[in-house]
Amino acid sequence: MNRQRQQSDVIVVGAGPAGLSAAIVAAENGLRVTVIDEFPEPGGRMLGQFHEERGHWWVGKRIADELIEQNRAQGVKIRCGVSVYGMLKVDGLWEVSTSQGTMIAPRVLLATGAAEIPMPTDGWTLPGVMSIGAAQVMSNVHYVKPGKRGLVIGVNVLAMAIARELSVSGVTLAGIVLPPSSPFAGKSALPKENLRLLMGLSHLAPSPILRFGGKFANALGMAGIVSSLFPRGGIKIWDIPLKLRTAALAINGTDRVESVTLADVNGQGEIIAGSEREEAVDFVALAGGLYPLAELASVAGCPFIYTPELGGHLPLHSERMQTPVEGLYVAGNITGVESALVAMAQGRLAAASICNDAGLYGHEGEHKVANAIEEVRRVRASALIQFHPGIPEARRKIYLLWRDTIQAGVR
């Protein structure tokens, strides 16, 4: 294969909300930017996202198209279908090894996003079983219904958001239920833990009564009590049955999904004997949540920290989106799982840091970076979709760790 060596000022890995937003700012300030992504078209997960936000619909495809157009207007090179398999710093330059040759730049921004957590369940290898994200892509990107009637296994923010999208798109859902108790499921199989999560999302509830009740119960720490009183038949959220006292035991079928075995559970997630029953469906969406897709940061030599509030292991970074590895920056869900709006603001902040470090801002650099940091804080504070509770405090601890170790010269 003919391998080419290509020179840029900045290589952005990931053409999602963070990467595209960063590329615009960097290019506006005169940097030569190349954005690469392994998927066939830019936009990332935004291509299949839409949700109701403060009286209007936020449509990810529309936002992605706007970002792509702005990138092209600034002369940014967007190369899709390109996989990155290695990164090495040589003589002050990053050599990024890709499926289409070696690309070289003094600075690299990793905006690789997040990936879905697998949810192993008895029968999950049957045709018709998919991740909740795959169902979203089928329905909202390719406009193909994943089936006639489906069931979502797993109660989390991702499941709730995409179930709403599927319902709006005309996909029939029999309900959202808990995964079976197992080492893989952990706390996600417990009614109390799931109700605690939903209480934190009470502002998203479609009913004013649910919104008030959720905030009230959350304030009093009543998750355990409320979960024991939660109706066994569940409640309807956006006309989708949410069943926090029901678990999926097995996915059944011969050549494809035909049904799911369900059972009632008590407050500890234990099966109630004699409650087993069959639910006829032809597809199942598994919702295990998201984790930062951060392998390339490890390849580049970046240290990691474990922060469950942000999805798990993620590269250590400052509030400026810098890593301890010189010339390596991060933005978006690789730094912790949040909404696309937060990822876009982080991308702009990372680009501001890159431009400042490159000396393009002059004496205004610190002011511009500080403004970008403040923008991220504002967007985060107003974000309707919060994937985990405690995100602001988790962020604060990460940045304190950076200040007390890396910034202080302790490695």
Specify the CATH number for the domain of residue 343: 3.50.50.60
Instruction: Check residue 170 and give left, alpha or beta (phi > 0: left; psi -120 to 50: alpha).
Output: left
Structural domain boundaries, residue 65 = 5-115+290-406
pLDDT in tens, 254-289: 999 999 999 998 877 788 999 999 999 999 999 988
Average pLDDT over residues 192-198: 68
The Cα 145–Cα 330 span in angstroms is 35
Domain annotation covers residue 368: yes
> What is residue 213's predicted lDDT score, i.e. its pLDDT?
39
Q: Pick from 230, 261, 286: which residue ends a domain?
A: 286
The fraction of the chain above a pLDDT of 70, given in percent, is 84
Same domain, yes or no: 244 and 344 = no
Same domain, yes or no: 249 and 107 = no
Domain annotation covers residue 325: yes
> What is residue 196's predicted lDDT score, i.e. its pLDDT?
65
Same domain, yes or no: 264 and 161 = yes
Q: Given a cut of 90, is residue 151 above it in pLDDT?
A: yes
CB distance 185 to 158 below 8 Å:
no
Same domain, yes or no: 124 and 88 = no
The pTM assigned to this predicted structure is 0.87
Same domain, yes or no: 150 and 270 = yes
Average pLDDT over residues 368-383: 93
Same domain, yes or no: 155 and 234 = yes
- How many beta carbons lie within 10 A of that of residue 20, not counting itself? 31
Total count of domains within the chain: 2
CA-based radius of gyration for the chain: 22
Domain annotation covers residue 411: no
The Cα 112–Cα 292 span in angstroms is 8
Q: Pick from 286, 307, 327: which residue ends a domain?
A: 286
Domain annotation covers residue 197: yes
Q: Given a cut of 70, is residue 189 above it in pLDDT?
A: no
pLDDT in tens, 75-124: 999 999 999 999 999 999 999 999 999 999 999 999 999 999 988 899 99
Same domain, yes or no: 303 and 267 = no
Q: Pick from 229, 260, 286: which residue ends a domain?
A: 286
147, with CB counted inside 10 A (0-12, 13-18, 19+), is buried
What average pLDDT is seen over the chain? 86
The fraction of the chain above a pLDDT of 90, given in percent, is 64
Same domain, yes or no: 131 and 259 = yes
CB distance 263 to 277 below 8 Å:
yes
Q: Is 407 helix (H, G, I), strand (E, B) or coil?
A: coil
Same domain, yes or no: 74 and 174 = no
Same domain, yes or no: 295 and 258 = no
> What is residue 221's predicted lDDT score, i.e. its pLDDT?
45
Same domain, yes or no: 12 and 89 = yes
Q: Given a cut of 60, is residue 405 above it in pLDDT?
A: yes
In sequence order, which residues have a C-beta less than 8 Å from that of residue 308 and are 6 or more positions away? Answer: 388
Domain annotation covers residue 20: yes
Same domain, yes or no: 268 and 295 = no
